[in-house]
Structure 1
Amino acid sequence: MSEMWEVSVDWLALREAEDARARSTALAAAVPGLLGDGPLTMHDLGSGTGSMMRWLAPRLPGPQTWILHDWNASLTARASEGRPPRDAWGQPVALRSRIGELDRLDASALRGASLVTASALLDVLTAAEAHAIVDACLAAGAPVLVSLSVTGDVALTPWDPRDIRFARAFDAHQRREVAGRRLIGRYGAALVGGLFRQAGWHVRTALTTWRLDRRDPLLLAEWFDGWAEAAIEQDPRLLRETVGYRELRWAQQARGELRACVYHLDLLGWSR
């Protein structure tokens, strides 16, 4: 599945502050009550450069060891740069990484986990990969906190009727087939939540939203361009049918008028 993970360090760094603002603090606040005593071992799936660790570690007791799972060793190496984050007790966390494809994750990879986390992961999985990850989490028995799964819902201001066609094409792009893999896109959180409930687990969800505007024009520009390009890639007719659309949005952004709400879902699951 590595062809789905070609994300740049620059993009991950650009979005980290907005990810941190958007994630559900209510779900994170419920996690300490689900953890056992003693040293904690956190497994972060699709960890990238470690943004989930940096956000969550200070909210949890220690001592903590974080194991970062990603196929891209250069990204996990970035997580080790600089000072490690500190836990709620003010102690630095220990950090390890495991490089490998997440579609090969099994129960042994999560053995001894106190908590399993992921961020912006579920929508780039296939249904089979999501089932495998859930099975591994169920076998580990540790609570699971997954943040920022796309819902496919986007609201741009000022509104334009062409937004609908772009949003539909982007949603289809999220569920496209790549190298024989059919992505689940916006259905990722619903599928995973349903699998945990079917197994008898408790599941809580929270709507989490990116709110992009002139306060962070670079992130807004990068997100809009990527969103529009993905829509056009999925439906090339948009390039002809919406002449002037992107130019209008770029002009609105230059004047500080453009805003975008990008909706996600966070999920917390734990065994009864």
Structure 2
Amino acid sequence: MSGFQPSWLALREPADRRARDAGLMHKAAEWLAKSGSVHVVVDLGCGAGSTLAAMDPILRAAGCNAHWRLVDDDPALLALAAERAARLGADAKTCRADLSDAAGAAIGNARLVTASALFDLASRDFVVALADAIAGAGAALYAGLSYDGSTTFQPSHPLDGIVVAGFNRHQLRPKGLGTGPSLGPGAARMLAKEMQARGYGVELAESPWLLGPDDRALAVEHVTGMAEAVGELAVLDPAELDAWKTFRLETAGDGRAMVGHLDLLALPGSADD
């Protein structure tokens, strides 16, 4: 399960990097360091290696020597992730696997499981099975950048609310990661609930994209994707949707947007800490 183009991942990575909550990444590293200096870290849906790039320096600074297992089903992305790991001097091996079938097996002896922009694509049964696998391994979980359903624009447009609501509804369509509807904007809170039910201490932190004039290319792709998704639902007259899209593209160069995400850290045996 992947389906993301390298060009899209590269386009969004600067916004992702700015958005990630540094506090949760440092807490993950501190927790890992308490139980030794060498650990297996499994990154699910690794893409081109953005999570490794963000977290490996923090783990090293905390005294952790991470052996990364980079898991994805796209060989082209795995090759990019391996190249990035080599450039950064990270100890990493790639693992090609269909996450919808192999997430539990891929976890293996992990001490920390990571994923970014993944769980809003997943169904509830996938999250439940993965939570079981993580708890069974006694591993911690860092899940970054799950879309939370909040999107605002400046300047505003009268149709913003309808378009965002339609986009959020579209996000619930099955994406192939598990069976049934995707969790979409509810993913991070569902994941938090499942980990808490297994005795984990869970923290959520806001990690919004804050897009400005320097992010015009990303803003254009984001607006285009939203319009395409809403168009599939036929909740707006096509002419109205096209007018909204045109306005948004024309203002992308000097406007601003906030796209909400949530980061999650779940640590085992910390529910009452």
Establish whether TM, by shorter chain, passes 0.5.
yes
Q: Secondary structure, in 3 states, of the residue corresponding to 1:146?
A: strand
| 1:145–1:267 Cα contact (<8 Å) kept | yes
TM-score by length of 2: 0.90
**d(CA) in 2 for partners of 1:243, 1:9:** 27
| 1:30-45 correspondence runs (5 A) | 30-35=27-32, 36-45=35-44
Q: 1:27-85, CA deviations, whole angstroms, 9 ceiling, x for partnerless residues? A: 01111221121312110011111100011000013322110111112111111225636
Q: Which amino acid aligns with 2:247?
A: L
* Percent identical: 31
Q: Which amino acid aligns with 2:170?
A: H
| 1:23-62 correspondence runs (5 A) | 23-35=20-32, 36-61=35-60, 62=64
Q: 1:120-151, CA deviations, whole angstroms, 9 ceiling, x for partnerless residues? A: 00010111111111111111111110000000
- Structure 1 residues without counterparts, runs of 5 or longer: 87-91
Q: Secondary structure, in 3 states, of the residue corresponding to 1:205?
A: strand
Q: Secondary structure, in 3 states, of the residue corresponding to 1:215?
A: helix
| 1:67–1:97 Cα contact (<8 Å) kept | yes
| 1:213-228 correspondence runs (5 A) | 213-228=212-227
RMSD: 1.7
What does residue 185 of structure 1 align with? 184
What does residue 170 of structure 2 align with? 173
Q: Which segment drifts farther, 208-217 or 106-115?
A: 106-115
Give the direction of change, closer, same or farther, for the CA distance of 1:131–1:85 in structure 2 (3 Å limit): farther
**d(CA) in 1 for partners of 2:174, 2:109:** 35
Say which of 15, 20, 26 aligns to 1:18: 15
Give the direction of change, closer, same or farther, for the CA distance of 1:50–1:252 in structure 2 (3 Å limit): same
The answer to whether the aligner puts 1:71 opposite 2:70 as a matched pair is: no
Aligned-pair CA distance for 1:233: 1.6
Number of aligned residues:
262
Q: Secondary structure, in 3 states, of the residue corresponding to 2:86?
A: coil
**d(CA) in 1 for partners of 2:109, 2:172:** 33
Give the direction of change, closer, same or farther, for the CA distance of 1:140–1:162 in structure 2 (3 Å limit): same
| 1:208-247 correspondence runs (5 A) | 208-235=207-234, 237-247=236-246
Q: Secondary structure, in 3 states, of the residue corresponding to 2:153?
A: strand
TM-score by length of 1: 0.91
| 1:96-175 correspondence runs (5 A) | 96-105=93-102, 107-175=104-172
Bigger proportion of residues as helix: 2
